[in-house]
């Protein structure tokens, strides 16, 4: 067991994948000489060379399209988009081509592409670098959407994503890159089809993912001091959602609070709430609560940014409301 950061865990996963399979390459802005905008790919250029670690022009539509072409040509590309906001410049390539090609080709072609991108706020990078648009991609059939919230998942999700014959979008919350924790020398395989129960409980279910997991766990600890035993579910896989784990949890606790850094309107939290309402209505003893970001562009000023994001005290208050307190 050794202590690593989330950033180092992602880097280690890429290094091992590239050592194991010569078809794996990394494309993106500044991924080579600069080592990635968030320092995730430092050292990979020196080890694998410019053929497999390629700095691209500042053109998301261009290099995502190149990644799709490389995947169709038999390679296993990892394409890094600096932030989710910038991925909107490649929506046509991602949604109209990568996600749909298996369907459009009558199952003749798949696009085994892994698209890594940073998401989330909390670092004073203002609106164009700070939004959480994971729910947009989770809306699209043909994509698998992952959100590793722990060091183990950051290290372990890449290999099964690369083995998937269809495109996988992997969201890394920028606020997690400096997170430190233990990682086994031989990490166990990660299931990229199931949610995880991060804290068992009996009174209320807190459902979240990515950068909000830490807040949910902190809220659960605060609730425990008030005599409330909260269960924390880490979705991990945003498409396809693991309904079974969610329904089993609500059947135990009879209450649910969904924490989502995305905006409330049209959010992934709304989808989770709808599924619980449809499939677990008679298990619920209180209305479902949602804790989301304020319906504003993420501000630059530190105090305003923090006020716009889900907060621990807001999660605690929502959970208490489900208990009539």
Q: What are the structure tokens assigned to 105, written together? A: 């080709």
List CB contacts of 51: < 8 A, sequence separation 6 or more.
25
DSSP-assigned states of every residue in 238-287: EES--HHHHHHHHHHHS-EEEEEEEESTT-HHHHHHHHHHHHSGGG-SS-
Catalytic residue among 8, 60, 152, 261: 60
Active site residue 134: no
Judged by DSSP in three states, 46 sits in helix
Q: Which own/partner pairs from 58-64 qualify as long-range (CB within 8 Å, at least 24 positions apart)?
A: 58/29, 59/89, 60/86, 60/87, 60/89, 60/90, 61/89, 61/90, 61/92, 61/93, 63/27, 63/28, 63/29, 64/90, 64/93, 64/94, 64/98, 64/115
Joined together, the tokens standing for residue 147 give 């959100």
Largest CA distance in the chain: 60
- Whether 173 is catalytic is no
Choosing from 29, 129, 134, 254, which is the catalytic residue? 129
d(CA 211, CA 127): 17
- Angle 190-119-86 (CA atoms, 0-180°, nearest 5)? 125
Instruction: Kindly state the tokens that stand for 160.
Output: 């099964």
How many other CB atoms sit within 10 Å of the CB of residue 133?
Answer: 18
**Catalytic center residues:** 60, 129
């Amino acid at each position: 067991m050794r202590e690593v950061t989330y950033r180092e865990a992602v880097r280690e996963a890429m290094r091992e994948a590239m050592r194991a399979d010569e078809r794996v390459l990394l494309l993106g802005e500044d991924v080579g000489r600069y080592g990635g905008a968030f320092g995730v790919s430092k050292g990979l250029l020196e080890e694998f060379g410019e053929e497999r670690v390629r700095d691209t022009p500042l053109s998301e539509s261009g290099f995502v399209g190149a990644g799709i072409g490389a995947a169709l040509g038999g390679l296993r590309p990892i394409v890094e988009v600096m932030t989710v906001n910038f991925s909107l410049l490649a929506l046509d390539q991602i949604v109209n081509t990568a996600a749909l090609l298996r369907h459009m080709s009558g199952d003749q072609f798949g696009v085994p592409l892994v698209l890594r991108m940073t998401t989330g706020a909390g670092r004073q990078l203002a609106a164009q670098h700070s939004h959480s648009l994971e729910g947009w991609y989770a809306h699209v059939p043909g994509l698998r959407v992952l959100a590793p919230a722990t060091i183990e998942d950051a290290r372990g999700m890449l290999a099964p994503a690369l083995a998937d014959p269809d495109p996988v979008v992997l969201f890394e919350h920028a606020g997690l890159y400096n997170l430190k924790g233990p990682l086994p020398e031989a990490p166990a395989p990660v299931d990229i089809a199931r949610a995880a129960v991060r804290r068992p409980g009996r009174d209320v279910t807190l459902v979240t993912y990515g950068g909000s997991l830490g807040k949910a766990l902190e809220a659960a600890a605060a609730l425990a001091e008030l005599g409330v035993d909260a269960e924390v579910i880490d979705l991990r896989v945003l498409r396809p959602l693991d309904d079974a784990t969610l329904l089993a949890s609500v059947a135990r606790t009879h209450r649910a609070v969904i924490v989502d850094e995305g905006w409330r309107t049209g959010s992934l939290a709304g989808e989770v709430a709808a599924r619980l309402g449809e499939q677990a209505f008679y298990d619920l003893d209180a209305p479902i609560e949602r804790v989301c970001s304020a319906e504003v562009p993420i501000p630059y000023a530190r105090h305003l940014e923090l006020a716009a994001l889900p907060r621990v005290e807001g999660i605690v208050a929502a959970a208490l409301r489900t208990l009539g307190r």
